[in-house]
Amino acid sequence: MNFYPLVRLLSTEIFKTGTELGAELGISRTAVWKQIQQLEQLGIEIITKPQQGYKLAKSINLFNELLLKQLLIENKSNLDLYLFSSLGSTNVEAKNLLNSPEVKSVLVLTEMQTAGKGRRGRTWQSPFGQNLAITLGAKIDTDISKLQGLSLAIAVELKESLNKFAAIDVGFKWPNDIYVNDKKLCGILVEVAGDFSGPFSLIMGIGLNLKSSSAFNSIDQPYICLDELGIEFDKNLFAIDLAVRLEKMISKFLNKGFQAWQARWNKAHLWKDKQAEVIHSNLSKRVTLKQVNSDGALLVINSEGNEEVINSGEISLRLAE
């Protein structure tokens, strides 16, 4: 269902009646009413006044295809833009698009995801217009081992892009969660598909919480949205800034590896020198967290006082009580 036309009409100061909305959309009043109900189910708050009609309770910053395309051209980007009002997952869509031999690199954006993917098999909530879901996908002709530490380098680029738009001091929780005030603001999910000795499709998905919404209530970890920090910017400008940064970083990363981002990552490392539980396959052990090495692996000191190297994958970290 394409909700763009109705949401655009509802994004005004004045109320619009079902008849007016129907006339502008070329659909019946009943069809308008049904769409309004669907929008409310998606967590979009709509004010209804008898005789006067409907309007959005809070304005929504929507994607603007023309602006996005113009910005990609201005930045000399080779990314092909795919914009949706609703999608299962931008990562899955990017992966499918890259299956076509003629498609080289894509930028997939959507106002909402119905099956957003998180790390370690979790789901990711992307209510309509409240979470920025962005995926950059590209075909890479090299060995997959060259990607070690990539998701941490993406976190550095994301931090630097955010800093261009707002005075916000984000920190990193290894391997690639972005935190503010001890709560998660963004998540990163890097996936690969194809022949791991190359060529393969590299999928870099990022979710950024923009506006608080009741639809976030099911999240089972502390989270924060930009509006709670009093931050609002045009997501069109941010999405392109980030996408262009990531597009540029890929070739540099394949040449130089994580080393070029290592110092910046360690500078924003939130839990350095903290005691934590390292959890893997339901087993946990207590360690002291140190910095990340030039591969993006986390160095820790175990209970015997020896250094260990923790690689990403299925491991999670929890601060010790």
If binding is defined by CB under 6 A, does position 194 make contact with ligand BTN?
Answer: no
Contacting range for ligand BTN; rule: CB under 6 A; set: 47-55, 65-73, 199-207, 275-283: 199-207
Nearest residue relative to ligand BTN (C-beta): 187
One residue of 189, 287, 297, 310 binding ligand BTN per CB under 6 A: 189
Contacting range for ligand BTN; rule: CB under 6 A; set: 16-24, 129-137, 215-223, 305-313: 129-137
If binding is defined by CB under 6 A, does position 205 make contact with ligand BTN?
Answer: yes
Contacting range for ligand BTN; rule: CB under 6 A; set: 5-13, 122-130, 214-222, 302-310: 122-130
If binding is defined by CB under 6 A, does position 318 make contact with ligand BTN?
Answer: no
CA angle 94, 99, 104 (to 5 degrees): 70
Interaction with ligand BTN in 42-101: which residues (CB under 6 A)? 89-91
The pair of structure tokens assigned to 296 is 């993006």
Between 167 and 186, how does the x/- string for binding to ligand BTN read (CB under 6 A)? ----------x---------
One residue of 22, 53, 116, 296 binding ligand BTN per CB under 6 A: 116
**In the complex, which residues of this chain contact ligand BTN (CB under 6 A)?**
89-91, 113, 116-119, 122, 124, 126, 133-135, 177, 187-189, 205-207
